A and B are shown apart, each in its own frame.
Chain A
Amino acid sequence: MKISLDVDKCCGAGQCVLAAPDVFDQRDEDGIVVLLDENPPAEQLGQVREAAAVCPAAVIEVQE
Protein backbone atom coordinates (compact mmCIF):
# COMPACT_ATOMS: atom_id res chain seq x y z
CA MET A 1 0.00 0.00 0.00
CA LYS A 2 1.21 3.48 -0.86
CA ILE A 3 -0.20 6.66 0.64
CA SER A 4 0.14 10.10 -0.88
CA LEU A 5 -1.02 13.32 0.75
CA ASP A 6 -1.97 16.69 -0.71
CA VAL A 7 -0.92 18.43 2.50
CA ASP A 8 -1.74 21.95 1.26
CA LYS A 9 -5.41 21.03 1.27
CA CYS A 10 -5.39 19.69 4.85
CA CYS A 11 -7.84 21.50 7.16
CA GLY A 12 -6.69 19.82 10.37
CA ALA A 13 -9.92 17.98 11.14
CA GLY A 14 -8.02 14.98 12.47
CA GLN A 15 -10.55 12.49 11.11
CA CYS A 16 -7.65 10.46 9.68
CA VAL A 17 -6.04 10.15 13.11
CA LEU A 18 -9.29 8.84 14.55
CA ALA A 19 -9.65 6.32 11.71
CA ALA A 20 -6.02 5.13 11.48
CA PRO A 21 -4.00 6.28 14.52
CA ASP A 22 -0.94 4.18 13.64
CA VAL A 23 -0.60 5.82 10.25
CA PHE A 24 -1.61 9.44 10.73
CA ASP A 25 -0.94 12.14 13.29
CA GLN A 26 -1.35 15.92 13.42
CA ARG A 27 1.18 18.69 13.90
CA ASP A 28 0.92 20.33 17.29
CA GLU A 29 0.72 23.92 16.16
CA ASP A 30 -1.89 23.80 13.41
CA GLY A 31 -3.24 20.27 13.25
CA ILE A 32 -1.90 19.61 9.74
CA VAL A 33 -1.62 15.91 8.92
CA VAL A 34 1.63 14.04 9.54
CA LEU A 35 2.24 10.69 7.88
CA LEU A 36 3.72 8.28 10.42
CA ASP A 37 4.08 5.37 8.01
CA GLU A 38 4.29 5.75 4.23
CA ASN A 39 3.98 2.04 3.53
CA PRO A 40 1.86 0.61 6.31
CA PRO A 41 1.31 -3.15 6.56
CA ALA A 42 -1.56 -4.60 4.55
CA GLU A 43 -3.73 -5.21 7.59
CA GLN A 44 -4.02 -1.44 7.99
CA LEU A 45 -5.64 -1.07 4.58
CA GLY A 46 -9.20 -0.96 5.87
CA GLN A 47 -8.41 1.79 8.35
CA VAL A 48 -6.40 3.82 5.86
CA ARG A 49 -9.14 3.65 3.24
CA GLU A 50 -11.64 4.76 5.85
CA ALA A 51 -9.35 7.67 6.72
CA ALA A 52 -9.25 8.66 3.06
CA ALA A 53 -13.02 8.36 2.80
CA VAL A 54 -13.84 10.53 5.81
CA CYS A 55 -11.17 13.18 5.21
CA PRO A 56 -13.19 16.37 4.70
CA ALA A 57 -10.63 17.91 2.35
CA ALA A 58 -9.83 14.97 0.04
CA VAL A 59 -6.18 15.03 1.09
CA ILE A 60 -5.42 11.31 1.24
CA GLU A 61 -4.89 9.01 -1.72
CA VAL A 62 -4.30 5.29 -1.27
CA GLN A 63 -2.81 2.94 -3.80
CA GLU A 64 -2.89 -0.76 -3.09
Chain B
Amino acid sequence: MNRPESVTVVGASAAGLGVVETLRREGYEGDLTLVGGEPHLPYDRPPLSKQLLSGAWDVGRLTLRQPEALQELDVDMRLGVPAVGLDTAKRAVLLGDGERVGYEALVVATGASARRLPGTEGVRGVHVLRNLEDAQELKAALARRPRLVIVGSGFVGAEAAAVARELGCEVTMVTDVAVPLGDALGAEIGGMLADVHREHGVRIEPGVMVEGVLADGARQVRGVQLADGRTIEADVVLVGIGAGANTGWLKGSSVPVGNGVECDATLYAGDGVWAAGDVASWVHPGTGRRTRIEHRTNAAEQGLAVGRNILAGPGEAKPFAPVPYVWSDQYDLKVQIYGSTRGADEVRIVEGGLGERRLVALYGQGGRVCGAAGINMVRVLRAHRRSVADAVPWEPEAALVGGER
Protein backbone atom coordinates (compact mmCIF):
# COMPACT_ATOMS: atom_id res chain seq x y z
CA MET B 1 0.00 0.00 0.00
CA ASN B 2 1.53 3.32 -0.93
CA ARG B 3 -0.45 6.25 0.30
CA PRO B 4 -0.20 9.54 -1.58
CA GLU B 5 1.69 12.29 0.20
CA SER B 6 -0.91 14.89 -0.67
CA VAL B 7 -4.57 14.80 -1.61
CA THR B 8 -6.47 17.73 -3.10
CA VAL B 9 -10.26 17.66 -3.21
CA VAL B 10 -12.09 20.13 -5.44
CA GLY B 11 -15.70 20.80 -4.44
CA ALA B 12 -16.56 21.43 -0.78
CA SER B 13 -19.99 19.90 -0.45
CA ALA B 14 -21.38 16.50 0.54
CA ALA B 15 -19.04 14.41 -1.59
CA GLY B 16 -15.87 16.45 -1.01
CA LEU B 17 -16.46 16.59 2.72
CA GLY B 18 -17.05 12.83 2.72
CA VAL B 19 -13.65 12.27 1.13
CA VAL B 20 -11.63 14.40 3.55
CA GLU B 21 -13.46 13.06 6.61
CA THR B 22 -12.95 9.48 5.51
CA LEU B 23 -9.25 10.04 4.88
CA ARG B 24 -8.68 11.45 8.34
CA ARG B 25 -10.92 8.90 10.04
CA GLU B 26 -8.93 6.10 8.43
CA GLY B 27 -5.69 7.57 9.71
CA TYR B 28 -4.38 9.48 6.70
CA GLU B 29 -1.76 11.98 7.91
CA GLY B 30 -0.61 13.55 4.64
CA ASP B 31 -1.44 17.01 3.29
CA LEU B 32 -5.10 17.62 2.57
CA THR B 33 -6.48 20.57 0.62
CA LEU B 34 -10.17 21.25 0.05
CA VAL B 35 -11.01 23.77 -2.66
CA GLY B 36 -14.57 25.13 -2.77
CA GLY B 37 -15.97 27.63 -5.23
CA GLU B 38 -18.61 28.89 -2.83
CA PRO B 39 -17.69 31.27 0.01
CA HIS B 40 -19.66 29.17 2.54
CA LEU B 41 -18.70 26.34 4.84
CA PRO B 42 -20.06 23.07 3.41
CA TYR B 43 -23.86 23.12 3.55
CA ASP B 44 -26.65 20.77 2.64
CA ARG B 45 -28.74 21.15 -0.51
CA PRO B 46 -31.89 19.02 0.02
CA PRO B 47 -33.39 21.54 2.50
CA LEU B 48 -33.04 24.33 -0.09
CA SER B 49 -36.27 23.31 -1.82
CA LYS B 50 -37.93 22.26 1.45
CA GLN B 51 -37.30 23.76 4.90
CA LEU B 52 -35.22 26.73 3.76
CA LEU B 53 -37.65 27.76 1.03
CA SER B 54 -40.64 27.41 3.35
CA GLY B 55 -38.96 29.38 6.10
CA ALA B 56 -39.10 26.48 8.58
CA TRP B 57 -35.30 26.53 8.94
CA ASP B 58 -32.81 29.36 8.89
CA VAL B 59 -29.55 29.15 6.98
CA GLY B 60 -27.54 27.98 10.00
CA ARG B 61 -29.36 24.64 10.04
CA LEU B 62 -27.93 23.76 6.62
CA THR B 63 -24.32 23.74 7.81
CA LEU B 64 -23.01 20.21 7.41
CA ARG B 65 -20.32 20.40 10.11
CA GLN B 66 -19.59 22.81 12.90
CA PRO B 67 -16.45 24.96 12.36
CA GLU B 68 -14.67 23.17 15.25
CA ALA B 69 -15.24 19.78 13.66
CA LEU B 70 -13.83 21.08 10.37
CA GLN B 71 -10.83 22.54 12.14
CA GLU B 72 -10.04 19.20 13.72
CA LEU B 73 -9.73 17.67 10.27
CA ASP B 74 -6.56 19.69 9.72
CA VAL B 75 -7.45 20.51 6.13
CA ASP B 76 -6.19 23.48 4.15
CA MET B 77 -9.58 24.92 3.13
CA ARG B 78 -9.69 27.27 0.16
CA LEU B 79 -13.26 28.46 0.12
CA GLY B 80 -14.66 31.04 -2.27
CA VAL B 81 -12.04 30.28 -4.91
CA PRO B 82 -13.01 28.07 -7.84
CA ALA B 83 -10.63 25.74 -9.62
CA VAL B 84 -10.33 27.02 -13.17
CA GLY B 85 -7.92 24.55 -14.72
CA LEU B 86 -6.11 21.27 -14.25
CA ASP B 87 -2.62 20.25 -15.34
CA THR B 88 -2.61 16.48 -15.08
CA ALA B 89 0.97 16.21 -16.37
CA LYS B 90 2.37 18.42 -13.61
CA ARG B 91 -0.35 17.37 -11.15
CA ALA B 92 -1.52 20.87 -10.26
CA VAL B 93 -4.90 22.55 -9.91
CA LEU B 94 -5.11 26.14 -11.11
CA LEU B 95 -7.27 28.37 -8.92
CA GLY B 96 -9.27 31.43 -9.87
CA ASP B 97 -6.95 33.67 -7.87
CA GLY B 98 -3.95 32.52 -9.91
CA GLU B 99 -2.57 30.12 -7.31
CA ARG B 100 -1.63 26.54 -8.11
CA VAL B 101 -2.27 23.65 -5.74
CA GLY B 102 -0.29 20.47 -6.29
CA TYR B 103 -1.45 16.94 -5.51
CA GLU B 104 -0.46 13.34 -5.69
CA ALA B 105 -4.11 12.26 -5.66
CA LEU B 106 -6.94 14.52 -6.81
CA VAL B 107 -10.67 14.14 -6.19
CA VAL B 108 -13.12 15.88 -8.48
CA ALA B 109 -16.23 16.58 -6.40
CA THR B 110 -17.55 19.66 -8.20
CA GLY B 111 -21.16 18.50 -8.36
CA ALA B 112 -23.60 19.84 -10.91
CA SER B 113 -25.22 23.10 -11.99
CA ALA B 114 -28.84 23.79 -12.76
CA ARG B 115 -29.67 23.81 -16.45
CA ARG B 116 -31.09 27.09 -17.68
CA LEU B 117 -33.56 27.87 -20.41
CA PRO B 118 -31.90 29.46 -23.42
CA GLY B 119 -32.56 33.17 -23.67
CA THR B 120 -33.20 33.73 -19.97
CA GLU B 121 -29.79 35.24 -19.15
CA GLY B 122 -30.33 38.55 -17.41
CA VAL B 123 -34.12 38.31 -17.35
CA ARG B 124 -35.32 39.33 -13.91
CA GLY B 125 -37.75 36.99 -12.18
CA VAL B 126 -36.35 33.81 -13.76
CA HIS B 127 -34.87 31.50 -11.13
CA VAL B 128 -33.06 28.20 -10.83
CA LEU B 129 -32.60 26.31 -7.56
CA ARG B 130 -29.21 24.78 -6.91
CA ASN B 131 -27.32 26.78 -4.31
CA LEU B 132 -27.96 28.83 -1.22
CA GLU B 133 -28.22 32.15 -3.02
CA ASP B 134 -30.70 30.69 -5.52
CA ALA B 135 -32.89 29.49 -2.65
CA GLN B 136 -32.73 32.79 -0.79
CA GLU B 137 -33.59 34.77 -3.92
CA LEU B 138 -36.52 32.48 -4.73
CA LYS B 139 -37.72 32.64 -1.14
CA ALA B 140 -37.71 36.44 -1.24
CA ALA B 141 -39.60 36.39 -4.54
CA LEU B 142 -42.25 33.95 -3.23
CA ALA B 143 -42.87 36.15 -0.19
CA ARG B 144 -44.64 38.56 -2.56
CA ARG B 145 -47.08 35.75 -3.46
CA PRO B 146 -46.49 35.98 -7.20
CA ARG B 147 -47.98 33.97 -10.00
CA LEU B 148 -45.30 31.30 -10.25
CA VAL B 149 -44.67 29.12 -13.29
CA ILE B 150 -42.45 26.09 -12.70
CA VAL B 151 -40.81 24.67 -15.81
CA GLY B 152 -40.16 20.95 -15.36
CA SER B 153 -41.71 18.40 -13.05
CA GLY B 154 -38.74 16.72 -11.44
CA PHE B 155 -38.34 16.42 -7.68
CA VAL B 156 -36.92 19.90 -7.17
CA GLY B 157 -39.74 21.55 -9.15
CA ALA B 158 -42.38 19.45 -7.42
CA GLU B 159 -41.01 20.28 -3.97
CA ALA B 160 -40.90 23.98 -4.81
CA ALA B 161 -44.49 23.77 -6.07
CA ALA B 162 -45.60 22.30 -2.76
CA VAL B 163 -43.83 24.99 -0.74
CA ALA B 164 -45.08 27.79 -3.00
CA ARG B 165 -48.68 26.62 -2.59
CA GLU B 166 -48.25 26.51 1.18
CA LEU B 167 -46.97 30.10 0.97
CA GLY B 168 -50.07 31.10 -0.96
CA CYS B 169 -48.62 31.58 -4.44
CA GLU B 170 -50.55 30.79 -7.61
CA VAL B 171 -48.62 27.88 -9.13
CA THR B 172 -48.59 26.43 -12.64
CA MET B 173 -46.28 23.54 -13.48
CA VAL B 174 -45.43 23.04 -17.13
CA THR B 175 -43.76 19.82 -18.18
CA ASP B 176 -42.95 18.13 -21.46
CA VAL B 177 -43.71 14.66 -20.06
CA ALA B 178 -47.23 13.22 -20.05
CA VAL B 179 -47.32 12.59 -16.30
CA PRO B 180 -45.30 14.75 -13.90
CA LEU B 181 -42.84 12.50 -12.06
CA GLY B 182 -44.06 9.65 -14.25
CA ASP B 183 -40.56 9.08 -15.60
CA ALA B 184 -39.26 8.33 -12.11
CA LEU B 185 -42.25 6.54 -10.61
CA GLY B 186 -44.35 5.21 -13.47
CA ALA B 187 -47.65 6.59 -14.79
CA GLU B 188 -49.83 5.28 -11.95
CA ILE B 189 -47.88 6.57 -8.97
CA GLY B 190 -46.78 9.68 -10.84
CA GLY B 191 -50.45 10.25 -11.60
CA MET B 192 -51.33 9.97 -7.94
CA LEU B 193 -48.70 12.56 -7.04
CA ALA B 194 -50.03 14.83 -9.78
CA ASP B 195 -53.50 14.48 -8.23
CA VAL B 196 -52.11 15.50 -4.86
CA HIS B 197 -50.58 18.61 -6.42
CA ARG B 198 -53.86 19.44 -8.17
CA GLU B 199 -55.80 19.03 -4.93
CA HIS B 200 -53.43 21.52 -3.37
CA GLY B 201 -54.24 23.96 -6.14
CA VAL B 202 -51.33 23.49 -8.54
CA ARG B 203 -52.33 23.85 -12.17
CA ILE B 204 -50.46 21.28 -14.26
CA GLU B 205 -49.83 21.65 -18.00
CA PRO B 206 -48.40 18.29 -19.05
CA GLY B 207 -46.99 17.16 -22.37
CA VAL B 208 -45.90 20.55 -23.62
CA MET B 209 -42.47 22.12 -24.06
CA VAL B 210 -41.66 25.59 -22.87
CA GLU B 211 -39.96 27.43 -25.72
CA GLY B 212 -38.80 30.41 -23.73
CA VAL B 213 -39.79 33.20 -21.42
CA LEU B 214 -41.60 36.41 -22.26
CA ALA B 215 -40.01 39.57 -20.91
CA ASP B 216 -41.01 43.21 -21.04
CA GLY B 217 -38.86 46.13 -22.12
CA ALA B 218 -37.29 46.32 -18.69
CA ARG B 219 -36.16 42.69 -18.99
CA GLN B 220 -38.64 41.63 -16.33
CA VAL B 221 -40.27 38.24 -16.92
CA ARG B 222 -43.97 38.35 -17.83
CA GLY B 223 -44.69 34.73 -18.67
CA VAL B 224 -43.64 31.66 -20.62
CA GLN B 225 -44.13 30.76 -24.26
CA LEU B 226 -45.30 27.20 -24.89
CA ALA B 227 -44.44 25.19 -28.00
CA ASP B 228 -48.14 24.77 -28.86
CA GLY B 229 -48.51 28.53 -29.25
CA ARG B 230 -50.09 29.26 -25.88
CA THR B 231 -48.60 31.60 -23.33
CA ILE B 232 -48.92 31.55 -19.54
CA GLU B 233 -48.55 34.75 -17.56
CA ALA B 234 -46.12 34.74 -14.66
CA ASP B 235 -44.42 37.12 -12.26
CA VAL B 236 -41.81 34.56 -11.31
CA VAL B 237 -40.51 31.55 -13.28
CA LEU B 238 -38.59 28.68 -11.71
CA VAL B 239 -36.67 26.59 -14.22
CA GLY B 240 -36.28 23.04 -12.88
CA ILE B 241 -35.11 21.09 -15.90
CA GLY B 242 -32.27 19.13 -14.38
CA ALA B 243 -28.59 19.67 -13.82
CA GLY B 244 -25.35 19.15 -15.73
CA ALA B 245 -22.04 17.98 -14.23
CA ASN B 246 -19.49 20.73 -13.45
CA THR B 247 -16.61 19.55 -15.63
CA GLY B 248 -15.74 22.76 -17.51
CA TRP B 249 -12.60 23.35 -15.47
CA LEU B 250 -11.17 19.96 -16.54
CA LYS B 251 -11.00 20.96 -20.22
CA GLY B 252 -7.58 20.38 -21.70
CA SER B 253 -6.57 17.89 -18.98
CA SER B 254 -6.27 14.13 -19.40
CA VAL B 255 -9.43 13.51 -17.34
CA PRO B 256 -12.01 11.67 -19.45
CA VAL B 257 -15.26 13.63 -19.52
CA GLY B 258 -18.59 12.61 -21.01
CA ASN B 259 -21.76 12.98 -19.02
CA GLY B 260 -19.62 13.68 -15.95
CA VAL B 261 -16.10 12.48 -15.14
CA GLU B 262 -15.83 8.99 -16.62
CA CYS B 263 -14.42 6.69 -13.94
CA ASP B 264 -13.92 2.95 -13.75
CA ALA B 265 -15.92 0.82 -11.33
CA THR B 266 -13.73 2.02 -8.43
CA LEU B 267 -14.38 5.73 -9.18
CA TYR B 268 -10.85 6.11 -10.56
CA ALA B 269 -10.35 8.19 -13.70
CA GLY B 270 -6.62 7.62 -14.19
CA ASP B 271 -3.49 9.78 -13.61
CA GLY B 272 -4.14 10.05 -9.87
CA VAL B 273 -7.63 11.48 -10.39
CA TRP B 274 -10.78 10.19 -8.68
CA ALA B 275 -14.33 11.53 -8.73
CA ALA B 276 -17.24 11.48 -6.30
CA GLY B 277 -20.81 12.75 -6.11
CA ASP B 278 -23.04 14.34 -8.75
CA VAL B 279 -20.08 14.95 -11.07
CA ALA B 280 -18.93 11.31 -11.20
CA SER B 281 -19.98 8.75 -13.74
CA TRP B 282 -18.85 5.21 -13.15
CA VAL B 283 -19.61 1.70 -14.33
CA HIS B 284 -21.88 0.12 -11.73
CA PRO B 285 -20.57 -3.43 -11.25
CA GLY B 286 -24.11 -4.73 -10.66
CA THR B 287 -25.70 -3.44 -13.84
CA GLY B 288 -22.58 -3.01 -15.97
CA ARG B 289 -23.99 0.35 -17.01
CA ARG B 290 -22.26 3.73 -16.92
CA THR B 291 -24.17 5.67 -14.31
CA ARG B 292 -24.23 9.20 -12.92
CA ILE B 293 -26.44 9.80 -9.89
CA GLU B 294 -27.64 13.09 -8.42
CA HIS B 295 -28.68 11.87 -4.97
CA ARG B 296 -27.56 13.11 -1.61
CA THR B 297 -26.72 9.69 -0.14
CA ASN B 298 -24.76 8.75 -3.25
CA ALA B 299 -22.52 11.79 -2.71
CA ALA B 300 -21.77 10.72 0.87
CA GLU B 301 -21.26 7.06 -0.06
CA GLN B 302 -19.01 7.87 -3.00
CA GLY B 303 -17.00 10.25 -0.81
CA LEU B 304 -16.52 7.40 1.65
CA ALA B 305 -15.62 4.94 -1.11
CA VAL B 306 -13.12 7.29 -2.78
CA GLY B 307 -11.45 8.10 0.55
CA ARG B 308 -10.95 4.40 1.19
CA ASN B 309 -9.89 3.64 -2.35
CA ILE B 310 -7.27 6.40 -2.32
CA LEU B 311 -5.72 4.78 0.74
CA ALA B 312 -5.89 1.34 -0.84
CA GLY B 313 -4.35 2.60 -4.10
CA PRO B 314 -5.70 2.16 -7.65
CA GLY B 315 -4.65 -1.51 -7.84
CA GLU B 316 -6.39 -2.52 -4.60
CA ALA B 317 -9.38 -0.20 -4.87
CA LYS B 318 -12.82 -1.75 -4.44
CA PRO B 319 -15.63 -1.36 -6.97
CA PHE B 320 -18.45 0.92 -5.88
CA ALA B 321 -21.67 -1.09 -5.93
CA PRO B 322 -24.39 0.75 -4.04
CA VAL B 323 -28.15 0.46 -3.94
CA PRO B 324 -29.00 4.04 -4.94
CA TYR B 325 -31.42 5.85 -2.66
CA VAL B 326 -33.30 9.12 -3.07
CA TRP B 327 -36.15 10.80 -1.27
CA SER B 328 -38.45 13.73 -1.84
CA ASP B 329 -40.84 15.53 0.50
CA GLN B 330 -43.99 17.03 -0.98
CA TYR B 331 -46.81 18.27 1.27
CA ASP B 332 -47.21 15.51 3.84
CA LEU B 333 -45.90 12.82 1.49
CA LYS B 334 -42.48 11.25 1.78
CA VAL B 335 -41.40 9.61 -1.46
CA GLN B 336 -38.45 7.22 -1.25
CA ILE B 337 -36.81 5.17 -3.97
CA TYR B 338 -34.21 2.40 -3.82
CA GLY B 339 -32.44 1.25 -6.95
CA SER B 340 -33.43 2.48 -10.36
CA THR B 341 -37.02 2.83 -11.43
CA ARG B 342 -36.50 4.73 -14.68
CA GLY B 343 -36.89 2.48 -17.68
CA ALA B 344 -38.56 -0.29 -15.67
CA ASP B 345 -40.82 -2.51 -17.76
CA GLU B 346 -42.95 -3.66 -14.82
CA VAL B 347 -44.41 -1.83 -11.83
CA ARG B 348 -46.47 -3.51 -9.12
CA ILE B 349 -47.87 -2.09 -5.92
CA VAL B 350 -47.10 -4.70 -3.27
CA GLU B 351 -48.09 -2.95 -0.05
CA GLY B 352 -50.74 -0.33 0.71
CA GLY B 353 -52.44 1.33 -2.22
CA LEU B 354 -52.98 4.44 -4.32
CA GLY B 355 -56.20 5.33 -2.52
CA GLU B 356 -54.56 5.35 0.89
CA ARG B 357 -51.59 7.31 -0.45
CA ARG B 358 -49.39 4.90 1.46
CA LEU B 359 -47.75 2.27 -0.64
CA VAL B 360 -44.70 0.32 -1.68
CA ALA B 361 -44.17 -0.56 -5.34
CA LEU B 362 -41.62 -2.85 -6.92
CA TYR B 363 -40.09 -2.08 -10.32
CA GLY B 364 -38.80 -4.77 -12.64
CA GLN B 365 -36.63 -4.93 -15.71
CA GLY B 366 -35.64 -7.97 -17.73
CA GLY B 367 -37.40 -10.28 -15.27
CA ARG B 368 -35.62 -8.97 -12.18
CA VAL B 369 -36.42 -6.49 -9.47
CA CYS B 370 -34.52 -3.26 -10.23
CA GLY B 371 -36.14 -0.78 -7.88
CA ALA B 372 -38.59 -0.18 -5.06
CA ALA B 373 -40.48 3.00 -4.25
CA GLY B 374 -42.48 3.94 -1.21
CA ILE B 375 -44.91 6.67 -0.28
CA ASN B 376 -45.24 7.24 3.48
CA MET B 377 -44.22 3.63 4.24
CA VAL B 378 -40.69 4.11 5.41
CA ARG B 379 -39.86 0.96 7.33
CA VAL B 380 -41.91 -1.31 5.14
CA LEU B 381 -40.05 -0.02 2.11
CA ARG B 382 -36.68 -0.64 3.75
CA ALA B 383 -37.59 -4.32 4.09
CA HIS B 384 -37.73 -4.50 0.28
CA ARG B 385 -34.27 -3.02 -0.21
CA ARG B 386 -32.69 -6.46 -0.10
CA SER B 387 -34.67 -7.60 -3.17
CA VAL B 388 -33.31 -4.61 -5.07
CA ALA B 389 -29.76 -5.20 -3.87
CA ASP B 390 -29.91 -8.84 -4.95
CA ALA B 391 -31.89 -8.10 -8.14
CA VAL B 392 -34.09 -11.09 -7.31
CA PRO B 393 -36.26 -12.60 -10.07
CA TRP B 394 -39.46 -10.59 -10.65
CA GLU B 395 -41.65 -13.65 -10.21
CA PRO B 396 -42.33 -14.79 -7.58
CA GLU B 397 -41.08 -11.73 -5.64
CA ALA B 398 -43.70 -9.33 -6.94
CA ALA B 399 -46.47 -11.93 -6.79
CA LEU B 400 -45.64 -13.18 -3.28
CA VAL B 401 -46.53 -9.94 -1.59
CA GLY B 402 -49.91 -9.27 -3.10
CA GLY B 403 -51.09 -5.76 -2.30
CA GLU B 404 -54.60 -4.44 -2.75
CA ARG B 405 -54.98 -1.47 -5.00
Count residues on chain B whose CB falls below 8 Å from chain A CBs.
Answer: 26
- Whether B378 lies near A12 (C-beta < 8 A) is yes
- Contacting B at CB under 8 A, from A8-64, are 9, 11-15, 17-18, 26, 28, 30-31, 49-50, 53-58
- Whether B378 lies near A56 (C-beta < 8 A) is no
- Contacting A at CB under 8 A, from B369-394, are 376, 378-379, 382, 385
- Whether A12 lies near B334 (C-beta < 8 A) is yes
Which chain A residues lie closer than 8 Å to B44 at the CB level?
Answer: 56-58
A13 to B18: give the CA distance in the assembly, Å: 17
Contact of A31 among B21, B63, B379 (CB under 8 A): B379
Count residues on chain A whose CB falls below 8 Å from chain B CBs.
Answer: 20
A49 to B24: give the CA distance in the assembly, Å: 12
- Whether B64 lies near A15 (C-beta < 8 A) is no
Number of A-B contacts (CB under 8 A): 57
Contact of B18 among A11, A17, A26, A53 (CB under 8 A): A53
- Whether A56 lies near B300 (C-beta < 8 A) is yes
Which chain B residues lie closer than 8 Å to A49 at the CB level?
Answer: 25
- Whether A54 lies near B46 (C-beta < 8 A) is no
Does B22 lie at the interface of the complex (its beta carbon under 8 Å from any beta carbon of A)?
A: yes
Contact of B304 among A14, A18, A54 (CB under 8 A): A54
- Whether A11 lies near B46 (C-beta < 8 A) is yes
Which chain B residues lie closer than 8 Å to A55 at the CB level?
Answer: 300
Q: Nearest Cβ in chain A — how far from B10, in angstroms?
A: 20
Contact of A54 among B61, B63, B300, B382 (CB under 8 A): B300
**Which of B14, B297, B376, B378 lies at the interface centre, i.e. has the most chain A CB atoms within 10 A of its CB?**
B378
What would be 10 A-B contacts, judged by CB atoms less than 8 Å apart? A12-B334, A12-B378, A18-B382, A18-B385, A49-B25, A50-B304, A53-B22, A54-B297, A56-B44, A56-B300
**Footprint of B on A, CB under 8 Å?**
9, 11-15, 17-18, 26, 28, 30-31, 49-50, 53-58
